[in-house]
Amino acid sequence: MIEIEGLGKSFTLHNQGGAVIPVMAGAHLRVARGECVALTGTSGAGKSTLMRMIYGNYRASAGQIMVGESDIAQAAPREIIQLRRDTLGYVSQFLRVVPRVPTREVVAEPLLTLGVTRTDAIARAEALLARLNIPEALWSLSPTTFSGGEQQRVNIARGFAHAFPALLLDEPTASLDAANREVVMGLIEEAKARGAAIIGIFHDEAARGQVCDREVDVGAFAPEQAA
Amino acid sequence: MSDYNFAYLDEQTKRMIRRAILKGLAIPGYQVPFASREMPMPYGWGTGGVQVSAACLTPDDTFKVIDQGADDTTNAVSIRKFFEKTAQVATTEETARASLIQTRHRIPEEALSEDQILVYQVPIPEPLRFLEPSEVETRKMHSLEEYGLMHVKLYEDISQHGAIATAYAYPVKVEGRYVMDPSPIPKFDNPKLGMAAIQLFGAGREQRIYALPPYTAVVSLDFEDHPFEPSKADHDCDLCGASDSYLDEVIVDDAGGRMFVCSDTDYCRSRRAAGHVGAQGAPYEEGAA
Amino acid sequence: MTPLLQVQGIAKFYGARRGCEDVSFDLYPGEVMGIVGESGSGKSTLLSCLAGHLPPDRGEVIFDTRADGPRDTLTMSEPERRMLMRTDWAFVHQHARDGLRMGVSAGGNVGERLMAVGARHYGDIRDQAVDWLGRVEIAADRVDDKPQAFSGGMQQRLQIARNLVTGPRLVFMDEPTGGLDVSVQARLLDLLRGLVREMGLSAIIVTHDLAVVRLLADRLMVMKDGRVVEDGLTDQVLDDPQHGYTQLLVSSVLQV
């Protein structure tokens, strides 16, 4: 489902003397349907950078990133937009939403965008919020005022609202207590069971061991420092 | 013999105005720009109408002037005297005898005929001006027939008053093309706009002339659920008893006493002369006011 | 899929000075594109050229019309273009008073576009106006109030209702949240997002506020000195800017 070949990335800092900072070279990765792969490596090794490139958030400098039939590295913006709507989900560590929008709406939005009826989308959102132990009293409030853990769970609910065939999870269990961590593990297992290809960054080794089929050390994709 | 050229204006100017009039007649409802002259009277006193009348008058004409239907108000008397002096034309107060009638704010009750001309004094010729201050924009709206704005004005009326409260200068569509301001006549007069006589509209300050040839199709704008209704005070004339004429409300004492009388003084007088008497009217005597 | 709007080689000069030049892009149905840049970067000139308010010196603005498919709006007859402007296109001005008739009630403002395309039933027009006021969160009992009596945020929402009542397919917005309090901006942004989603609108939004484009726009174009220096997915352009100017722009934003 996700196939990465020869992927490279460098940043050019035009306002700092045009410094070119290579951060990744020759990255390759394959994730099949129903498989969950963990990205590992030291902090700064490029786990998040790789994840962001797969999502199209960072531009690839070389190589290809196939998600289904599309090459993210070459795709036009509208292809990526469409892909993000129906195929490629992403749970980041940070919640970025329009202020003052109720939590229930935030979670339902990906479904509404796909044309799911309002009733069904809200029902699905509420079920996920309940499962993630967000008190019902908070559903009609904006998540911007929530605690870090609550925001993280809203983010997860939003990411799992639609059954994406491919999922990127950036530290989904960070700042969660044991009970909620188990709920998220359950969601990931269910996604695998329905055939989703998942790439995750898990700081939590126990969680990693529990849901991931393989580990890929991103450190192996470090560029040659010679240049 | 006065020292004025016939009808005050010089011949070149009259020709210029006649060209504007002819163009106006050729394109009913279209506002034709013309080079309005300074007249020996202030703007707002009918300078546009006077120039149109001057361009139309011939020595054989019989001239009548009414202001709000009356022949005897200051404005009407001044203009009548103006042409008596500068053109030496015959004048009359009788609608049927006049060949050219200049009017402010009314159409005579008596139906006009094909050999008469009715000249209107117009303060603001642009019906869209109420909502669109830009002349460039209103001209474009006319040329492209973008008249939705006119209905916005009527919409506002209904939303504020429950009915179309525009009682005078009620906008009309001419021959299915131009939206036109019929000058501040009461909407009661709108149905008469398709008359047999030629109708000419002159706006002096705004330098516009427009026209309706005889028997032009003129439709008052409205909504399907709020159709146009010509209205008048729900009374008969207290002097002549007429039930079909437009009425003025006159306060007659300090105790709130009032009476309704025909605004068309000639119409009222002729009815009384024919023996009609209203609720507060005395039998008609020749020469009495 | 046919693009809703194909912009090709738009250029506009003010004498020798460049307003904008060499601007080309395709906009697809349902897409929201942001145009950012500092004052004088040409973004407003470009928007005016696209929206038919200003004739460009060169280029084509091809719109996929309902009746005849893709047509260059710059070579259309003026009546056709103006008809487009009050049916399939909409323009939301930065200052609500530029886009509203301040002397006309809220209902009249919303109803104008309906009447402009021939609606002649007062009751129906009013019902639609009230419905649209509700959709932009203005209470039905304000329908007869004039915009002067409204707050800045309400005026802006009224302007949006007035524009969207004829179900346009393309909306041009010039700094739609400019001059509004931050809390009011948020509500407006949410409203716009909802309307874009529900009506399947395409939109082109000019702003200098990067936070606004991040929340509203799918795609982003960055302009400098009348030229497009970078374009792409909004979050990609903001998070991984390629051009020096964009990097400067992004790094200059105060973090909250």
DSSP-derived pairing of the beta strands B258-262 and B247-251: antiparallel
Q: How far is C110 from chain B (nearest CA, A)?
A: 10
Tokens 């200052």 found at: C95
**CATH number for B116:** 3.40.50.11310
pLDDT at position A227 is: 41
pLDDT at position B289 is: 47
Q: Which residues contact C86 (CB under 8 A, 6 or more apart)?
A: B148, C113, C116, C117, C166
- Please check the confidence at residue A16 and state whether its pLDDT lies above 90: no
User: Chain A residue with minimal CA distance to C246?
Assistant: A14
Q: Are residues B177 and B108 in the same domain?
A: yes
Adjacent-strand bridge partners of A127:
none
pLDDT (mean) for C189-193: 83
Handedness of CA C26, C31, C36, C40 (dihedral sign): positive
Instruction: Tell me how far CA of residue A145 lies from CA of A104, A138, C239, in angstroms.
Output: 14, 10, 24
Q: Is residue B261 part of a domain?
A: yes
Of the pLDDT bands very low, low, confident and very high (cuts 50, 70, 90), residue B52 is: very high
Chains touching chain C, criterion 3+ CB pairs below 8 Å:
A, B
CB contact under 8 A, C144 and B146: no
Q: Are residues B174 and B253 in the same domain?
A: no
Q: C34 near C42, Cβ under 8 Å?
A: no
SS3 labels along B205-217: CCCEEEEECCCCC
| Chains A, C: CB pairs < 8 Å | 58
Q: How far is C125 from chain B (nearest CA, A)?
A: 9
- Please check the confidence at residue A106 and state whether its pLDDT lies above 50: yes
Q: Is residue B147 part of a domain?
A: no
Architecture of C5-101+170-253 per CATH? 3-Layer(aba) Sandwich (3.40)
Active site residue B240: yes
User: Chain A residue with minimal CA distance to C190?
Assistant: A98
pLDDT (mean) for C151-169: 92
Cα–Cα distance for residue pair A156/A187, rounded to 1 Å: 9
- Please check the confidence at residue B110 and state whether its pLDDT lies above 50: yes
Q: Which member of B24, B29, B69, B281 is catalytic?
A: B29
When the pLDDT of each residue in chain A is averaged and rounded to a whole number, the result is 91
Q: Are residues B22 and B94 in the same domain?
A: yes
- Please check the confidence at residue C206 and state whether its pLDDT lies above 90: yes
Q: Is residue B37 part of a domain?
A: yes
Full set of structural domains in chain A with CATH: 32-45+76-221 (3.40.50.300)
Which of B196, B220, B244 is the endpoint of a domain?
B220
Q: Do chains C and B touch (3 or more CB pairs under 8 A)?
A: yes
pLDDT at position B99 is: 98
Whole-prediction pTM: 0.85
Whole-complex ipTM: 0.89
Question: A-chain residues within 8 Å CB-CB of C244?
Answer: 14-15
Domain assignment of residue B198, given as a range? 11-134+169-220
Q: Is residue B1 part of a domain?
A: no
Q: Are residues B184 and B88 in the same domain?
A: yes
pLDDT at position C190 is: 82
Question: C-chain residues within 8 Å CB-CB of A100?
Answer: 183, 186-187, 190
Q: Which residues contact A175 (CB under 8 A, 6 or more apart)?
A: A148, A149, A152
Q: Which structure tokens are listed for C21? A: 């030049």
| pLDDT tens track for A151-186 | 999 999 999 999 999 999 999 888 888 999 999 999
CB contact under 8 A, C105 and B156: yes
pLDDT at position A212 is: 93
Q: Are residues B268 and B205 in the same domain?
A: no
Residue B215: phi and psi, rounded to 5, are 60, 35
Q: C127 near C114, Cβ under 8 Å?
A: no
pLDDT at position A101 is: 87
| pLDDT tens track for A51-98 | 999 999 999 999 999 999 999 999 999 999 999 999 999 998 888 887
Tokens 């909004």 found at: C234
- Please check the confidence at residue B2 and state whether its pLDDT lies above 60: no
Q: Do chains A and B touch (3 or more CB pairs under 8 A)?
A: no
pLDDT at position A174 is: 83
Q: Are residues B33 and B84 in the same domain?
A: yes
Q: Which residues contact C66 (CB under 8 A, 6 or more apart)?
A: C88
User: Residues of A numbered 86-125 whose beta carbons fall under 8 angstroms of chain C's beta carbons: which are they?
Assistant: 96, 98-101, 112-113
pLDDT (mean) for C184-200: 83
Q: C168 near C88, Cβ under 8 Å?
A: yes
pLDDT (mean) for B175-179: 96
Handedness of CA B13, B15, B16, B21 (dihedral sign): positive
Q: Are residues B106 and B245 in the same domain?
A: no
Q: Is residue B212 part of a domain?
A: yes
pLDDT (mean) for C124-131: 96
For chain B, the domain total comes to 2
Q: Are residues B121 and B242 in the same domain?
A: no
